[in-house]
Amino acid sequence: MQGHGAILSSIGVNKVTSSKATWMENPGTYVLVVEDPDTKEVLGGARVDTSYGNTKLPIADATGYMDEKIHDFIAREAEHGTGEICGLWNSRKVAGMGFGSLFLTRAAVAITTQIEVKSLFALCAPYTVATAESFGYKTLKEVGNEGTFYYPKLDLLATAMLLGDTDSLEGASELEMDRVGSLRKDPNQFFEEILRNRQVPVQYKLEI
């Protein structure tokens, strides 16, 4: 994920736990990429790291030394299969078009039924909290400072969030309930998405 690292470096962040290369050797990691259909250039990406009780999630490495209770939450969810959306990034070429947060999150939530993940954690920057909430995520107020941590550095705030039931998506917006449900029935679909009064063509290819 060189693109992810470059974006982080541009805002002064040179070390993030989820960017460690160890995930490349984890068979429980699923990588999502945004690709230009004409040039094949990778314009964004994300990962879903999974745990079924035998591996840690990146959010534990990122926040566990600040509040050990995160380990208990992960262990509880891992009994039924849990995961974490992490490493979201997008190229400046597609900045503001939704690929770095909305569409990749939608894709990640949609594939949970294929990979048998019953819940999803996320460590969200302030500007992505609302996007996470649109999928049914809720802030884990039992950890950190009402769910927030200074991460990845002291002048940046991150919010620990949990999507407690990836099947029902309780609390999700009507749009995301429809989109995710449709993509689960047919993982390979084209949509002319509308974001900020702008048409964004997206071809989803999510069959694993």
Cα–Cα distance, 4 to 2 (Å, whole number): 5
- What digits encode the pLDDT tens for the residues 180-207? 999 999 999 999 988 888 899 999 999 9
pLDDT at 136 over 80: yes
Cα–Cα distance, 85 to 50 (Å, whole number): 9
pLDDT at 9 over 50: no
CATH number at residue 37: 3.40.630.30
| CA-based nearest residue to 77, from 33, 121, 37 | 121
| CA-based nearest residue to 190, from 208, 206, 202, 200 | 202
- What digits encode the pLDDT tens for the residues 157-173? 999 999 999 999 999 99
Hey, is 175 helix, strand or coil?
helix
Number of domains in the chain: 1
Residue 191 identity: F
Q: Give me the residues paired with residue 45 across strands.
A: 33, 89
Domain range for 178: 2-205
Q: What is the mean pLDDT of residues 12-29?
A: 63
Say how many Å lie between the first and final Cα of the chain, rounded.
20
Go through 39-60 and write b for each residue having 16 or more CB atoms within 10 A of its CB, e for each that does not: eeeebbbbbbbbbeeeebbbbb
Length of the chain: 208
| 3-state percent breakdown (helix, strand, coil) of the chain, nearest 5 | 35, 30, 35
Contact 94, 33 (CB under 8 A): no
- What digits encode the pLDDT tens for the residues 86-101? 999 999 888 888 888 8
